[in-house]
Homo-oligomer: A and B are copies of this chain.
Amino acid sequence: MKPGYYGNWGGAFVPEILHETFRQLNAVFAEAQADPSFWQQYVDLMASYSCRPTPLTLAENLTRRFGGAQIYIKREDLNHTGAHKANNVMGQGLLVRRMGKTRVIAETGAGQHGVATATMAAKFGLACTIYMGEEDVQRQRPNVFWMEKLGATVVPVTSGSRTLKDAINEAFRDWVANMDSTHYVMGTVCGPHPFPAMVAWFQKIIGEETRRQILAAHGRLPARVYACVGGGSNAMGIFQGFMADEEVELVGVEAGGKGLTTGQHAARLTAEEAGNHPAGTPGVAQGYKTMFLQDSDGQMKDTHSVAAGLDYIGVSPMLADLWEGGRVRMAAATDAEVMEALQLTMASEGIIPALESAHAFVQAFREAGELPPEAAIVINQSGRGDKDIFTIAHAFKDPSWQAFIRAKGEEYAKEPAS
């Protein structure tokens, strides 16, 4: 197989101007992989700066409620900056140091990857520019505020659908102009090789911890592992811990948006019914080959999800391969199901999953009851939901929240910048 390919998927469809940059990146990444002290440095950094290992929490109340498998939650929400994104970003930060670059750029959708990158840049003393679709800038203003306070420049991207995919394009445009000084911190297991391999490598820390933890807590491997799939980094992160354990079923959950038949979703691999084709078709964009949501000409479609972090046209080439080969089963959760699972999880366990993560909860809740109590399942809680307050309070149509925002708005209208 060609390097950078996973079955039929992957590759590095990169403009010539970046050829050397990628050569260097591949070399530094290979060096890091070959150097055990690098991994140790990474683990130490994540232990002292974030809070790895993150816990594995037994959800007793949810387990009781569904009356089936023991439900365990892997707590990536407890990472510094609130999501698994920190793992990848801090890892790439160490590579940036090795390369001696002085600036990083990144795309962001939900804002989590942007906040994580801005955080890493502050810690590592790097200049930082974050590209973010204008629509997402509107949706995720708190994250923009923090990125700026962390010292990053946030550039609203006004092209295309003004969301994540356009931010990626814009980041590439910056990169082709500034690659000598600048590293592009790709936020998920997508993009041209070696990004999927690199991001997956850093994220495998989730799965390695989880495997140890579930064996210690439950005494045996879990029956199933659930993770939401935007680009696929948290999913690949946890799945890698169980890849060789054939008895562990790996389940990825995509954004079903308003429903798979509505066209307003971001489910690339999940077929509406067993036996049907999924909505995604093979394509090449943003530097790699995978299953994209595109029209018959190859133009990318608009996607929709209540979770900005899942609202993306492509999916990891690694997951496309694992899905094609049957190792990973794909499912989808709709916006409405997600809000329900979120509410249930908050009230039952005192845990607030990110909207993205709540997709994995939906599917786990559907299936937990089918399994016997001796079985365990693990849900990867990729992030915490309190960052999503504007979206969640909006989605719940909370009247006190709306009144609060109106009053604040009126206050600012009266004395702007007071």
Contacts and interface: CB of A to CB of B under 8 A. Distances in A.
Interface of A: 47-51, 54-58, 61, 75, 78, 80, 82, 118-123, 125, 138, 141-142, 144-146, 148-151, 217, 343, 346-352, 386-387, 389-390, 392-393, 396-410, 412-413, 416-418
Nearest to A90: B350
Contact of A144 (B55, B400, B406): B400
A363 B144 CA distance: 29
A146 B385 CA distance: 10
A417 to B, nearest CB: 5
Scoring A123, A350, A402 by chain B CB atoms within 10 A of each residue's CB, the highest score goes to: A350
Identical chains bound together, number = 2
Contact of A347 (B56, B82, B150): B150
Contacts of A120: 350
Nearest to A48: B55
A346 B58 contact: no
A57 B61 contact: no
A78 B57 contact: no
Given A55-B51, A387-B386, A350 B123 contact: yes
B406 A412 contact: yes
20 contacts: A51-B54, A51-B75, A61-B122, A78-B78, A78-B80, A80-B350, A119-B351, A121-B350, A122-B347, A122-B349, A122-B350, A138-B404, A142-B389, A146-B346, A148-B398, A149-B347, A402-B412, A406-B413, A408-B409, A409-B409
Given A122-B348, A141-B400, A56 B50 contact: no
8 A-B pairs closest in CB distance: A409-B409, A119-B350, A122-B350, A141-B404, A123-B350, A402-B412, A151-B347, A51-B51
A41 to B, nearest CB: 14
Contacts of A50: 55, 78
Contact of A410 (B390, B393, B398, B409): B409
A203 to B, nearest CB: 18
A55 B347 CA distance: 28
Given A51-B75, A121-B350, 14 more contacts: A47-B55, A75-B80, A122-B348, A122-B350, A142-B389, A145-B400, A150-B350, A397-B417, A399-B416, A399-B417, A402-B416, A403-B412, A406-B413, A408-B409
Contacts of A54: 51
Contacts of A151: 346-347
A122 B142 CA distance: 27
Contacts of A56: 48
A121 B350 CA distance: 8
Contacts of A410: 409
Contacts of A57: 48-49
A51 to B, nearest CB: 4
B406 A150 contact: no
